């Protein structure tokens, strides 16, 4: 295990975080967990490849000593593409980097998940028009008339 994994991080160390982005399960609007995640879409594989080429050409992470990934297929594929550009770094997988564990919702569609839980899938409607609640009154109007401060 690299020294950085043991808690000894050298002064001046850098941390670069790369999110895998769109996976097949996201494009299909379903929950992708350890069982159902089929990896990155072709478009996202291309984008990660472009990032890997840029990192290799620029050398900005040439001194990298560790590459970590969650155990989800989309993250592993991202790490595999980047590892080649970073001199063939070994990939350290840890489930503690998983953004979520979907449990019984693995492979369930977002619509089915919403119906089952009675809650909207976070972020699902970010690209759609939402109805917004009326603004609440500000602090001044909700407090009533101001009174002078006295002890």
User: pLDDT tens for residues 2-30?
Assistant: 555 566 777 878 888 888 767 877 777 77
Given a cut of 90, whether residue 47 has pLDDT beyond it is: yes
Measured between alpha carbons, how far is 122 from 134 in angstroms, rounded to an integer? 21
Measured between alpha carbons, how far is 112 from 57 in angstroms, rounded to an integer? 45
User: pLDDT tens for residues 54-73?
Assistant: 999 999 898 898 899 988 88
pLDDT (0 to 100) of residue 148: 43
Sequence-distant (6+) residues with CB within 8 A of 95 are 70, 71
The interaxial angle of helices 73-85 and 42-58, nearest 10 deg, is 30
Token pair recorded at residue 91: 């990939």
Angstrom CA distances, 111 to 20, 24, 125, 146, stand at 23, 16, 12, 49
Domain ranges of the chain: 20-121
Measured between alpha carbons, how far is 142 from 97 in angstroms, rounded to an integer? 43
pTM: 0.66
Rg (Cα) of the chain, in Å, rounded? 22
Q: Tell which CATH architecture fits domain 20-121.
A: 3-Layer(aba) Sandwich (3.40)
């Amino acid at each position: 295990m690299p020294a950085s994994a043991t808690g000894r991080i050298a002064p001046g160390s850098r941390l670069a975080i790369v999110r895998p982005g769109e996976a097949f399960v996201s494009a299909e609007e379903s929950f992708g967990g350890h069982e159902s995640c089929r990896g990155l879409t072709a478009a996202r594989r291309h984008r990660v490849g472009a990032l890997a080429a840029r990192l290799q050409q620029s050398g900005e992470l040439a001194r990298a000593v560790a590459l970590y990934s969650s155990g989800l297929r989309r993250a592993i594929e991202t790490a595999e593409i980047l590892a080649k550009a970073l001199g063939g770094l070994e990939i350290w997988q840890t489930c503690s980097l998983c953004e979520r564990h979907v449990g019984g919702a693995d492979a369930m569609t977002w619509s089915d998940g919403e119906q089952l839980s009675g809650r909207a899938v976070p972020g699902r409607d970010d690209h759609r028009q939402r109805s917004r609640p009326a603004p609440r009154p500000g602090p001044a109007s909700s407090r009533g008339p101001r009174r002078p401060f006295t002890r």
